[in-house]
Structure formats: structure tokens, C-alpha cells
Amino acid sequence: MKVQVIYHSLSGCTEKLARGVFERLTCEEKSLHDLSKESPALDGDILLLGYWVDQAGPCKPMRGLMEQIEGKHVGIFCTMAYWCDASHGTASLHSGAECVKARNTVIGGIACNGHMSQKMIDMFRSMKAGAHSSNPASEARWALMKEHPSECEIALAAERFNERIALLHTLQAQGLAFPPVEI
């Protein structure tokens, strides 16, 4: 079973997560693709798609790729400079799954905390008012998330996808379909 890990990263968070997952995948045939450098042939049996969150969903390049995929088993992962367990995190992951689920089987997903690029922090600090303007709480969150995604988050994502890949392999050997995961 061939697994392709395809990602698009803005500040390096999604790349860090994608590389960590890729390194920990236990399958024999796997490949890693940076969507900002290449548009890979979608020839894997399983596609693990990673993106940075833009307006509660996949960044534009990943959304474009997701809309082309058909007949695959797909795992979704994303990073955001906000709490991944907040409604924004679940909505951002759900939005990615919505892009692929009509024509593919979603095998799982995970949202991870990430750090915000200095350029974005500077932009938010320059705002005088608004939902994204700098305040003591956002400054504390940005400082806390400088090292995210953490090794624990990367290990959890890799474990999730390794388990789902193993389950898919077991079910296929028994002639059974993988039950789609609702994200």
C-alpha cells in the first residue's frame, strides 16, 4: 500500500508535522511532497493531506488539490496558531474533510497547534482594534505556541495515521470497506 504525505506550509509548522508523520509511518512504500514546490501525481493508495488553516479551512493551494482527488483513502491534518481543540480547530479540520469526502473515503484526521509567523504577529500588533488585534491573551498564546507542533503532537498524529492505515489493510484483506470517519 503506497502512502503519499502531501502538505503546504506557511510558517513551517505544517512542514514540521508532515515530516514528523512521514518519518514515523511504518509502511514500506511512502513519499513526501511539498505542494509549494511540486504538484505530485496522485498515485498513492492513501493520501495524507496537511495544510495551514486559512479562514477556518484549508489554505488555497491545498483546497485546490483536494478538489481534484477522487477514489482515494484520505487522512487530513492541519496546523493553526490557535487552540486546536477549540471550535475553530474542529471546524478547520471538518472543512478539509468536506473538500474530499464526497469522492473519497476519509480515514481520519488531526488538528495541531502551530506557531504564528512573525510577519502575521507584526501585522496583528499593528491593528488598533478587531478580533485579531494584539492583546495580552494573544501575546501569551503566541509565546506559548512558539515550539508547536510539539514532539507529542507529531507522535500522536503519526500514531493515528499508522493505526488507520493498519486498519485499512486488515479490512481490505477481509474484503471489507473502511467505514468513513466523520470529521
Name 82's Cβ contacts closer than 8 Å, sequence gap at least 6. Answer: 53, 88, 89, 113, 141
Q: Count H helices, E strands: the chain?
A: 6, 5
* Rounded Cα–Cα distance for residues 69 and 80 (Å): 23
- Judge contact between 108 and 74, C-beta under 8 A: no
CATH superfamily assigned to domain 2-114+149-173: Flavodoxin domain (3.40.50.360)
* Rounded Cα–Cα distance for residues 158 and 179 (Å): 20
Q: Give the pLDDT of the chain (183 residues) as one tens digit per residue.
A: 899 999 999 989 999 999 999 999 999 999 999 999 999 999 999 999 999 999 899 999 999 999 999 999 999 999 998 888 999 899 999 999 999 999 999 999 999 999 888 888 898 889 877 767 788 988 898 899 999 999 999 999 999 999 999 999 999 999 999 998 999
Q: Is 177 helix (H, G, I), strand (E, B) or coil?
A: coil
Instruction: List, by residue range, all CATH 3.40.50.360 domains of the chain.
Output: 2-114+149-173
- Judge contact between 165 and 3, C-beta under 8 A: yes
